[in-house]
Amino acid sequence: MAPMLGQTEHDETAVQSKQIKQSPLPYQSADQATLQDLASKCLANYGTKLERDIIVRTEGLYVYTADGHRVLDWTSGQMSCLVGHGHPEVVEAVRQHAAHLDHLFSGMVSPPVINLAHRLTSVLPRGLDKAFFLSTGGESNEAAIKMAKVYTGKFEIVGLGASWHGMTASALGAQYHFGRKGQGPVMPGMHMLPPPNAYRSIFRNADGSYDWEKELDYGWSLIDRASCGSLAACIVECIQSSAGMHVLPAGYLQALKKHCEKREMLLIVDEAQTGIGRCGDLFAIDHDGVVPDLLTLSKTLGNGLPLSAVVTSNEIERVCTERDFCFYTTHVNDPLPAAVGDKVLEIVIRDDLVEHSRRVGKSLHQGLNRLKDRYGCIGDVRGRGLMAGVEIVGDRNTKEPALELGKDIATAMYDRGLWANLSSHSSFGGVFRIAPPITITEEQILEGLQIMEEAFAATAGSKPLY
């Protein structure tokens, strides 16, 4: 890879990072009850129940509450802090650019944006040649869908059941999980494929194994009947995180690509959570050997800062430019978040964190499967690398969800110092979603697994098997 514009040596940056003064934030000594009371008076609901504790500090893999409780963060914030909270090199990138190159007129370009685009496209397969940068995953998916419509001249979009792509109009229209109700019609021309849920799907081979090919073909047969003949794109996650950490079966993405090509549609892959090394590959598409027409990134790319990306081919970019494609926002290609994204990519590649994710991910999954062997309430363990789902059921034979039991276990885990998000909404099925920063150590994997063991053992109804 050619040298980056304005790139400094790693050693020099590391020295500068160590010189950053860590001064306490003014509210780190605030009383939790006072903060909770104030929050209840002035914070509006945005669609989720707020956790009981107020978080006043983050550091590395831990979050700290106003009451002084230290909690191991096994969800990387909102599945985003890929290299941990407060990584010194990320902090230094923010400091430098907040002081000297933060935000520009949207038609201006800066070295951090060029650097990030160059570094990103250099490590992606050919056919993902050009990128631009936005703020959120919903925004990047919205832009990708719009680009697909402009390129194809068509408007129908296919999504997968149980998917999550964002809160903006087209992204929400392709999202078959939650958030669709109470607001009238979604965008027209939206279609759904069956969710590829190997644990619960009714499509089975004679031996009881999951017949995803028959399910996928059946889904497309329904879409062909429902379509008005204007199929533009299909959007998909390689691991459906919000659905409960369901991994696409081997061969699924290749088959999906062929279905799209047959119908002259584009394939959009949303790697909000799987991108940049979390699953043991730099990108999940590398694992599947598929090059989509459009790739979207968010969450992990910005390490918790608002940053997302749309990446596509030279040809799609050329045609869309000719057809006046526009996705002009206040924060498109902003330099500060781009500098952070460039630093995150640099750290992941330089420190071989992809291999680290693959290696410690094996320890994680081995530990979770040992828990499954020990407790009958665990119906399924799934995932890849440092993404894992642990599904809690009342009965392994009927696979009946046990949401209240899951909540009790989650509380026991949190009280003992581990945060692993429990998807408690009925559409999630009661699944612990685990996605720690990929800088996690073997010792921290064992620490979390030990807390989980203690929580399961202490919770009535966990069904110990021995």
Helix (H, G, I), strand (E, B) or coil at 247: strand
Q: Is 264 a catalytic residue?
A: no
> Among candidates 430, 432, 433, 425, which has minimal Cα distance to 395?
430
């999954």: which residue's tokens? Answer: 365
The catalytic residue among 270, 317, 342, 408 is: 270
Q: Is 273 a catalytic residue?
A: yes
> Among candidates 138, 152, 126, which has minimal Cα distance to 233?
152
The catalytic residue among 119, 146, 257, 299 is: 299
How far CA 202 is from CA of 60, 119, 163, 232, 378, in Å, comes to 42, 43, 18, 29, 20
- Regarding beta strands 266-270 and 231-236, do their DSSP bridges make them parallel or antiparallel, or are they unpaired? parallel
Q: Count CA atoms closer than 13 A to 169's CA, side-chain side.
A: 8
Q: Count CA atoms closer than 13 A to 104's CA, side-chain side.
A: 18
Q: Is 204 a catalytic residue?
A: no
Q: Is 299 a catalytic residue?
A: yes
Q: Is 346 a catalytic residue?
A: no
Alpha-carbon span 370 to 384, nearest angstrom: 16
The catalytic residue among 149, 154, 433, 463 is: 433
- Regarding beta strands 294-297 and 308-312, do their DSSP bridges make them parallel or antiparallel, or are they unpaired? antiparallel
If you write DSSP's letter for every residue of 194-218 in order, what string do you get? PP--TTT-S-B-TTS-B-HHHHHHH
The catalytic residue among 149, 154, 240, 273 is: 273
Residue 234 near residue 293, CB atoms below 8 Å: no
Q: Is 263 a catalytic residue?
A: no
The catalytic residue among 74, 164, 212, 220 is: 164
The catalytic residue among 237, 281, 293, 380 is: 237
Tokens for 88, please give them: 């010194």
Q: Which residues participate in catalysis according to the annotation? A: 164, 237, 270, 273, 299, 433
